[in-house]
Amino acid sequence: MKRTVFSLAYLLLACAASGREPKTDFGIRQQDDAAMKWFQDAKFGMFVHWGLYAVPAQGEWYLEQSAMSLDAYRKFAFDQGDGVYFDAKNFDPTAWAQLAKAAGMKYICLTARHHDGFALFDSHFTNAFTSVQTLHRDLYAEYVKAVRAAGLRVGLYFSPIDWRYPGYYDVTGTNCADNGWHYQTAAWHKENADVMKNEVYEQVRTLFKNYGPFDYVFWDGSWLAQRGSDRDGAYFWEPGKYRDSANAWPVTAANSDSDASGRPLGLMGIARKYSPQVISNARSGWIGDFDSAEGDSEVKGPVRPNPWEKCLNLNRVTWGYNARQNLMTEAQLTRYLVDVVVRGGNMLLNVGPDRHGTIPETHAALLWHFGAWLTKVGDSIYGTRGGPWNPVDGQYGFTYKPGKYFIHILPGYVGTEIAIPAIKEKVTGCFDLYLRQPLNFVQQPDGTVRLTGLNRDAHNADTVVSVVTDGSSL
Ligand code: GLC
């Protein structure tokens, strides 16, 4: 209910600001509180970028950055006699799921296809290039099955943009953007872009129809030709509930899907037709059920009012496997997670398995270790909400759940005492959650609570205090 009111208010505000009528498309933000709740309770998920780009081992943008020929790129999928190709021979999604669980993650999101267009699932579109063709393996089916069996929520990542199509750089056929392949403006690009869009529609329908239901979808990159914002590409992709049958880039009957009344569905319409509970990020050009923040910039400011998610990379270099490694430290990882949860967000942490499907040892070890800490302080993370008081950047912040408040104290805060603002409930105990030890506290008549004797050394990256009360007024 709250979300309905919020969504309406948001729409009215957005429309007032833009002076436009609301589009019906935007009316389908997830209205089911349970679908949002699992996500907001989960807090921590695993992002996995895995595809052909693992072969050159320089990140997932390799095709674009090298502007190599598409034929040469396709060869990464086949043994050229040297044994160096995308063989997926160690791909064990059950092991990935076990690692995610050990790390304290509650959902996984694997790239079904990235901007290079290589699909890990079974698509029969004319131009589709898939692992079923190259390895006779439906890697995505294996992934979905294993993640479900492990009891984790299943996320789908899908990139609408596709560098294999010259039309991607020139959807109107009148204005080709700069590109490494030196494609020039050409009228046929418009049709080429239309084929690209048709492939997206066929594949999104295939994924949602045959692999779902999905709990979560991460659309990536609705921009066109690497220009503008995700929202700027929406006229082309039609990411909302419905498509316009008069759109200049039509989707053929064979590749499209419709609602019960025969109205053609847009990308989210297809997603929700088959996965009514699915929640979506905000990167398709559609508004999204939750806000998205990408990259490793510092997380600052007050508690955010909307559900949101920050995605970032364990190996800071690239999302896809990279021979170069610059791993985040455990202290940095802790800092990001704390900064996110005290502001009401989730963290989606990326790993990039190699061409065999192996998540590098050092990455896995870090995740196991981090998970061991989370097991101890998980009460202060999972199922909480950020607040009820705003954090102080770089020093501390709060989470809460019925009957409990938690203080996350960062290394930037000096001292062994801290206070929390007035609360109505009576505090019955305060604990160092990591050490499982009671702490001294005094609750003043005005409800404020002062804690003393904090041990700041036992786990300096985040000293977690649990404040237990005799009830919940929140
Ligand atoms: C960007 C990049 C992409 C990566 C994504 C992760 O959109 O283009 O490579 O997959 O961020 O959020």
* 349 Cβ inside 6 Å of ligand 1: no
Under the banding of pLDDT at 50, 70 and 90, the label for residue 31 is confident
Per the omega criterion (within 30 degrees of 0), is the bond before 388 cis?
Answer: yes
pLDDT over 60 at 63, yes or no: yes
pLDDT over 50 at 11, yes or no: no
Chain centre to alpha carbon of residue 341: 15
* 220 Cβ inside 6 Å of ligand 1: yes
Over residues 102-114, the pLDDT tens digits come to 999 999 999 999 9
pLDDT score for 472:
62
* 221 Cβ inside 6 Å of ligand 1: yes
Nearest CA-CA partner of 177 in 245, 102, 233: 233
pLDDT score for 15:
39
CA of 219 to the centre of ligand 1 (A): 10
pLDDT over 50 at 19, yes or no: no
Please identify, by atom number, the ligand 1 atom nearest to the C-alpha of residue 61: 9
- DSSP annotation string for 449-462: EEEE----STTTT-
Over residues 113-143, the pLDDT tens digits come to 999 999 999 999 999 999 999 999 999 999 9
The structural architecture, per CATH, of the domain 387-468 is Sandwich (2.60)
Q: Which residues contact 335 (CB under 8 A, 6 or more apart)?
A: 410, 461, 462
pLDDT score for 9:
39
pLDDT score for 28:
62
pLDDT over 80 at 23, yes or no: no
Under the banding of pLDDT at 50, 70 and 90, the label for residue 328 is very high
CA of 214 to the centre of ligand 1 (A): 20
Q: Which residue has the CA at smallest separation from atom 4 of ligand 1?
A: 319
* 116 Cβ inside 6 Å of ligand 1: no
pLDDT over 60 at 345, yes or no: yes
- Write down the mean pLDDT value for the chain: 93
pLDDT score for 1:
34
Nearest CA-CA partner of 173 in 125, 237, 224: 224
Domain boundaries 5-380, corresponding CATH code: 3.20.20.80
Q: Which of 53, 158, 319, 347 to mutate to test the pocket of ligand 1 (most atoms within 8 A of CB)?
A: 319
Please identify, by atom number, the ligand 1 atom nearest to the C-alpha of residue 318: 9
* 47 Cβ inside 6 Å of ligand 1: no
* 219 Cβ inside 6 Å of ligand 1: no
Mean pLDDT of 226-252: 93
Q: Where do the structural domains in the chain lie, given as residue ranges?
A: 5-380, 387-468
Burial class (CB in 10 A: 0-12, 13-18, 19+), 472: middle
pLDDT score for 150:
98
pLDDT over 90 at 334, yes or no: yes
* 60 Cβ inside 6 Å of ligand 1: yes
* 223 Cβ inside 6 Å of ligand 1: no
pLDDT over 70 at 211, yes or no: yes
Under the banding of pLDDT at 50, 70 and 90, the label for residue 5 is very low
* 294 Cβ inside 6 Å of ligand 1: yes
For residue 8, what are the CA distances in angstroms to 228, 305, 306, 309?
A: 27, 15, 13, 21
Under the banding of pLDDT at 50, 70 and 90, the label for residue 34 is confident
The residue assigned the tokens 């679908």 is 35
Q: Which residue has the CA at smallest separation from atom 8 of ligand 1?
A: 221
* 393 Cβ inside 6 Å of ligand 1: no
pLDDT score for 13:
40
CA of 73 to the centre of ligand 1 (A): 19
pLDDT over 60 at 314, yes or no: yes
